[in-house]
Homo-oligomer: A and B are copies of this chain.
């Protein structure tokens, strides 16, 4: 059996499943509502298979609201995956800092050159 984090990332590694989660972020939806945007490109069993992957990873769960079987988001695995990613935040912040320094140095360089050419004109 795969660890929870691997299951979460694996379930998210598909644009259809991410689109389904995105739809569920607006509120609960039943299976046919979730399937609707994909019916031109895939069969209902294929849609159900995607939902099963999300469910097995614990990212969604089925609720029984009256006669409709709805799905809703479970946030906990997403939180754990985000917490895992957060440990690498320093790397992208560092690289943006470096980019920022580089852009500042270019601007400073341009200004210095501008001042120099300004001086030459007044000569």
Interface residues of A (CB under 8 A from B): 3, 5-10, 12-15, 18, 21-22, 25, 73, 75-76, 78-79, 81-82, 84-89, 91-92, 94-95
Contacts and interface: CB of A to CB of B under 8 A. Distances in A.
A87 to B, nearest CB: 7
Q: Which 6 pairs of residues, A with B, have the shortest CB-CB distance?
A: A75-B91, A75-B92, A9-B13, A10-B13, A79-B92, A9-B12
Contacts of A3: 15
Given A14-B6, A15-B6, A81 B85 contact: yes
A76 B88 contact: no
Contacts of A95: 75-76
A76 to B, nearest CB: 6
Contacts of A87: 22, 25
A21 to B, nearest CB: 7
